[in-house]
Amino acid sequence: MTFVTFMTSNQGRMMRVIAGIVLMSISLFVIKDTLGTVLALIALIPIAGGALDFCVAGFMMGYPFRGAKAREQLAQKQHR
């Protein structure tokens, strides 16, 4: 629960965007070739997730896909 709480927070969203940019940079400038292109495409997932406020990891753990809904659900669980 604390992992999803962090990942849906503003800090978690920023971290996902930064991690995605780092992964994309490494894949395009260091790895290159086909593998680099594939990793760059995969890096779009955390970048888009942070920018558009959705959390794939939270969804895989049973929380709503949208960050706002996941934060709502987490807040309700904390107040019980």
Any idea where the domains of the chain sit in the sequence?
Answer: 2-74
Q: Give, for all 80 residues of the chain, the pLDDT tens digit.
A: 688 889 999 999 999 999 999 999 999 999 989 999 999 999 999 999 999 999 988 899 999 999 999 999 988 887 76
Cβ(14)–Cβ(30) below 8 Å: no
- The C-alpha atoms of residue 71 and residue 78 are separated, in whole angstroms, by 10
Here the tokens at position 36 are 């680099």
pTM of the predicted structure, to 2 decimals: 0.85
- The C-alpha atoms of residue 39 and residue 25 are separated, in whole angstroms, by 10
